[in-house]
Amino acid sequence: MPQAKLGKPVPAAKVKVTGDREFKLADLKGKNVVLYFYPKDNTSGCTTEGIDFRDHYQKFKRAKTEILGVSRDSLKSHENFKAKYEFPFDLISDPDEKLCRIFDVIKEKNMYGKKVMGIERSTFIIDSKGVLRNEFRKVKVKDHVEEVLAAVKAL
């Protein structure tokens, strides 16, 4: 499977998004896209990150940018998470890790002393032509959304 590389068009992938729709990143050509990967719905860091993107959503819209959150959670879990926190953007369900592998975000993590494979919190900015322009890996939630917004505005 091809991987996303800075300065190159993002490989095509078809995924499921909230609203039980099939979706391709190419559907958003003409707009910038923030694709943020997070480990799990309804956990503290992931909830805070989603709320931060929600609270800055209008600023991203003014910058002609769509936001999409991605995790391995089910569509049902995503629907509940999105409704509970009133996210105005869609969440992508990637249980087979297709998108996760394209963006190389599945990493070995230490959970309560056990080694597990999981999503490393990461954010990617894709420009209006479908080219990967920025990547943020090993993201710390605090102030991250402001950093992403500044990068979008610099496109």
Reported as a single tens digit per residue, the pLDDT across 94-124 is 999 999 999 999 998 877 788 888 899 999 9
Bridge partners, residue 145, by sequence: none
132 backbone dihedrals φ, ψ, rounded to 5°? -70, 120
Domains of the chain: which residue ranges?
Answer: 14-153
What CATH superfamily classification does 14-153 receive?
Glutaredoxin (3.40.30.10)
**24: exposed, middle or buried (Cβ count in 10 Å: 0-12, 13-18, 19+):** exposed
In the structure encoding, which two tokens stand for residue 134, read together? 């920025």
Q: What is the pLDDT of residue 113?
A: 82
In the structure encoding, which two tokens stand for residue 155, read together? 């496109």
In the structure encoding, which two tokens stand for residue 68, read together? 């999409």
Residues that are catalytic: 46
Q: What's this model's pTM, rounded to 2 decimal places?
A: 0.94
Q: What is the pLDDT of residue 51?
A: 97
CA distance 25 to 10: 8
What Cα–Cα distance (Å) separates residue 34 from each residue in 50, 66, 113? Answer: 12, 6, 32
Output DSSP code: residue 11.
P
**5-62 pLDDT tens trace:** 999 999 988 999 999 999 888 888 899 999 999 999 999 999 999 999 999 999 999 9
Q: What is the pLDDT of residue 114?
A: 82
